[in-house]
Structure 1
């Protein structure tokens, strides 16, 4: 049995769940889906995101709660908060690739 390298947090599960939602419902390609999943997890978990004004954070939270159809997305807001590389580092490498891919 393969075990994770580190304890799995609710944040990890939420990021992965939103990545899957981005792939299935928003039809985003995998790198975009990873970015989206991590950004939504950050917005929901954060009380304050450093470097962003309260109204910007409120707008990110509003957009994270609203599941838009792919054609309704004009500006991918999640690019301001995360990247596919960051998902790789903060989620996949933390869990361990073998564990994550199973």
Structure 2
């Protein structure tokens, strides 16, 4: 237990296949929208993984296919709240801008 929270349940997934793992209250992913095919598969997978009141938190450093993911999810009636944050990267002289999306069913 860390910060008073239980250890999260995690899973290694193939985004191109719907896993039989059930639905979750929270799905977290980071830097996963780097290929068009994977982004499309991810947009089909997220609705399967989220419970009715669930939400997903996705962090993206401005990958090329992030707008496609947003478009596909919104077409499936998901809502986005997006926060932009700067992240300091060790060994680099500049910060990286990261978009953090909170995604819910509309």
Band the TM-score falls in, shorter-chain normalisation:
under 0.3
Q: Which has the higher contact order (CA 8 A, sep 6+)?
A: 1
Higher strand share goes to which structure?
2
If the length of structure 2 is used for normalisation, what is the TM-score? 0.25
Work out which of the two has the higher radius of gyration on C-alpha atoms and give 1 or 2: 2
